[in-house]
Amino acid sequence: MQVLRKLLLPIMLWFAIALVGLLAYQYFSTVNANQHTAEADFEHYYESFDEKIESAKQFALGLATQAATNPDIQAAFAEHDREKLTALTLESYQQLNQQFGIPQYQYHLPPATSFLRLHQLDKFGDDLSAFRATVVEANRTGKPVGGLEVGRGGLGVRGVVPVQYSGQHIGTVEFGLNVDVQILASLRGEYGVNWSLWLEKEQADLATFVTANTDAKPPIKELVFQTSTLKAPTLNTPAAYLAALQGNKTLSRVVENGHTFAIYSAPLYDYSGEVIGVVDIIEDRTAAVNANLRQLLINLALIFTVLASAVAIIFIYGASVLRPIRALTDTAHEIANGNMSRNVNIHSGDEFEQLGNTFNAMTTQLRELIGTLENRVQERTLELENRSQVLARQSTELAEVNAQTKRRAAQLEAIAEVASEIASLQKIEDILPSVTRLISEKFGFYHTGIFLVDEAREYAVLVAANSAGGERMLARGHKLKVGKVGIVGYVTGSGNPRIALDTGMDAVYFDNPDLPNTHSEMALPLHSSKGVIGALDVQSTEANAFNQEDIRVLSTLADQISIAIENDRLFEETKKSLSEVETIYRQYLRQEWGRIARVEKLLGFHYENGKTQALEAPLSSPEIQKANQEGTLQTGFDEENNRGSLAIPILLRGETIGVLNVRASGKKNWKQDELTITQEIANRVAVALENARLLDESQRRASKEQAISQIATKISASVNMRNVLQTTVAELGRALPGSDIVIQFANPTEEPDDQPKTGEQ
């Protein structure tokens, strides 16, 4: 028995240690795997939070951009007309707020003075530059700014876009979305974890933000509470929060009130990339930890049960068991030494015999396995190589798709910038060169040119270009025959876009010595209501640089250019028509007031010493003549009569219809108040005189219409031709006293051609 104990107890001890080690390895491997899985999950949660913030930012910027590019809003904002701006925007904001829950919509004057809050109409004029850095940045740079920012209401997503009017920066428009418990609750509903937001105390104090939950004690003095999906937020370690404020992420295990939590603390970045707080992602891991512990205890119990049973069996049946085991041991040693032909012979009729048979079968399989191991290794290696090739191919395809997506995004962003440039400029001679420059810069084109078809529709004339060769072409008046010369000629003739992927082989390519490096060219038609008005020509130094997708993308840009050209044409026509109307109306005013002076013999009135008299002859002085000719206020001094004189033109829609002359004794120094009052009186006199003239003209016309109506009524009452004629001449005589009235039929001695001849009657 002593030999049995000495022999078997070390084996059992080793076996127990091996089992415990295996169990420990399995347990810690599981824990590490769970840790890595948890880190990946929390990183995914954190990225989802960033995506929600980015989505909110793009939404806010989109709304702000739409408002900033509205011409009516631009005009009202430029005029500082708060009521008009409110009328233009309040209804749309109320609809947006009702549909999307947008808590903030306001306009600012530089650098950050609130001009209008649609969400709080009675509050404006306060300076926000101390803590609204997004507004200050947008007003300073003239570029859109979006992202997280701490305000008076706490953390929010801002979208601030500069507003331009007539090419001048006038302020910014902002849409703001709250980052509150609703956003966190949606994330909790999606991923089943709780969230907490902490703000950097310095940022919160600067924005005068006060937390609504005063019971939430901050984990460190550098933080204040913003919001959480938990009534009482579970806190991470102070070191984790300090690390997050330094831009690092920490996953910690915290035990609180009998529960085990996994807390992921990560930095919260504002619009400029600065850390302004910490976001906590909290998951209750109590159930998982308890399950792991239960499984560990079960495994330990099984191990100890097996060991105890094995020890008992060994000591009870040691003698009978030792012999077969020794045989197995000897055989195993032989096999281990390379004797793969050795078999164990056990004929005990029990499990040991089965074990021996199984051992022999295992030995046979081992021999076969060793024989086929090289083939299996080769097959597995080939399989891994095939999978690696598939993964490499998929990675390449994904990279190509990603590159195409980035390229399209960059193109769309460039189109937006070009459209903004078009909207910010008014004159077409400024718009077209700026557009060619922007297109080449943003799309990386070697040359960009804009052609317009001449009035005869015979040539496409180059009017704007960005390259050095294009400048030379502009200087010599470069033009192409419509429908005949080059890609531009083809496009302006057919109205269809055209791409030359290999310019050396394209049949319609025009070899231009000013652009020798061109290897690809694309031309897009510019359409208007009158048909094709020109072409947008872009050229690249790369072969096969364009495709059909580029046509679809850049056609949008071509349409923007066409609209700008058409708008400029309409603006010039409207301005010309308005000038003609104003000229005609001023001529009409001069004629009418000249007629009044001649017919009414009304030169004006003179007031002095309480008496008003009509002028018998027009007054003449240098200041009166100059005021009448130039239409501006004039002063003078009559040395002979020792009188100061003030002559103010009476202007009606820019036309001088008279002069108001004020004289004072002595050399008079006219005060600004006196000049202002006199000028205002002259303006009101002009309006009153015009109203009187229009009333007099209306009365004269009414009198004429009444006389005509009366005459027509009396004529209509006559039933035969003679009475009609007599009534007509009599009424005209009364209407025009002192006149001779005669009515005579035309050619009374001639017979009409359609009357029958004498012999035919």
- Note the pLDDT tens digit of each residue in 395-421: 777 777 776 677 677 767 777 777 776
- Compute the average pLDDT of residues 144-148: 94
Task: State both tokens at 66.
Answer: 């739409």
Bigger pLDDT: 79 or 357?
A: 79
Which CATH class, in words, describes the domain spanning 605-700? alpha beta
- Percent of the chain residues topping a pLDDT of 70: 86
Whether the pLDDT of residue 756 is over 50: the answer is no
Indicate the range of 83-97, 379-393, 462-476 predicted with least confidence: 379-393
| DSSP state at residue 453 | E
pLDDT of residue 95: 92
Give the confidence band of 751 by pLDDT, cuts at 50, 70, 90: low
Whether the pLDDT of residue 584 is over 50: the answer is yes
pLDDT of residue 287: 80
Whether the pLDDT of residue 90 is over 80: the answer is yes
Of 756, 757, 759, 727, nearest in space to 743 by CA: 727
Q: Provide the edge-to-edge strand list for the sheet that holds 275-284.
A: 223-228, 194-200, 275-284, 259-269, 250-256
Count CB-CB contacts under 10 A for residue 549.
Answer: 12
- Chain centroid to Cα 706, Å, comes to 64
Whether the pLDDT of residue 504 is over 60: the answer is no
C-alpha to C-alpha distance for 161 and 526, rounded to whole angstroms: 30
Residue partners of 685: CB distance under 8 A and separation at least 6 = 650, 658, 660
| DSSP state at residue 639 | T
Interior angle at CA 134, CA 129 and CA 136, nearest 5: 40
C-alpha to C-alpha distance for 337 and 333, rounded to whole angstroms: 6
Bigger pLDDT: 335 or 463?
A: 463
Q: Please determine whether the domains at 182-285 and 605-700 fall in the same fold group of CATH.
A: yes
pLDDT of residue 8: 63
Whether the pLDDT of residue 123 is over 60: the answer is yes
Count CB-CB contacts under 10 A for residue 96.
Answer: 16
| DSSP state at residue 545 | -
Give the confidence band of 5 by pLDDT, cuts at 50, 70, 90: low
Give the confidence band of 600 by pLDDT, cuts at 50, 70, 90: low
| CATH number for the domain formed by residue range(s) 182-285 | 3.30.450
Whether the pLDDT of residue 480 is over 90: the answer is no
| Kind and range of the H or E run holding 691 | helix 672-717
Whether the pLDDT of residue 267 is over 80: the answer is yes
Residue type, 187: L
Indicate the range of 62-66, 69-73, 153-157, 540-544 predicted with least confidence: 540-544
pTM: 0.40
CA atoms within 13 A on the CB side of 90: 12
Bigger pLDDT: 186 or 369?
A: 186
Whether the pLDDT of residue 129 is over 80: the answer is yes
In the chain, where the domains are located = 182-285, 425-573, 605-700
Whether the pLDDT of residue 121 is over 60: the answer is yes
Whether the pLDDT of residue 321 is over 50: the answer is yes
Indicate the range of 36-40, 114-118, 235-239, 310-314 predicted with least confidence: 310-314
Whether the pLDDT of residue 512 is over 90: the answer is no
For the chain, the straight-line distance linking the first and the last C-alpha, in angstroms and rounded, comes to 170
C-alpha to C-alpha distance for 49 and 279, rounded to whole angstroms: 9
Taking only the tens place, the pLDDT of each residue in 604-652 is 777 777 777 777 677 777 877 777 777 788 787 766 677 777 788 888 7
Count CB-CB contacts under 10 A for residue 204.
Answer: 25
Whether the pLDDT of residue 160 is over 80: the answer is yes
Of 622, 627, 613, 620, nearest in space to 659 by CA: 627
CB burial of residue 727 (10 Å; 0-12, 13-18, 19+): middle
Of 237, 234, 241, nearest in space to 286 by CA: 234
Give the confidence band of 314 by pLDDT, cuts at 50, 70, 90: low
pLDDT of residue 334: 75
pLDDT of residue 758: 41
Mean pLDDT of the chain: 81
pLDDT of residue 760: 36
Residue partners of 223: CB distance under 8 A and separation at least 6 = 198, 199, 200, 201, 241, 277, 278
| CATH number for the domain formed by residue range(s) 425-573 | 3.30.450.40
C-alpha to C-alpha distance for 506 and 544, rounded to whole angstroms: 12
Using CA atoms, how far residue 348 sits from 146, 150, 345, 360, in Å, is: 84, 84, 10, 15
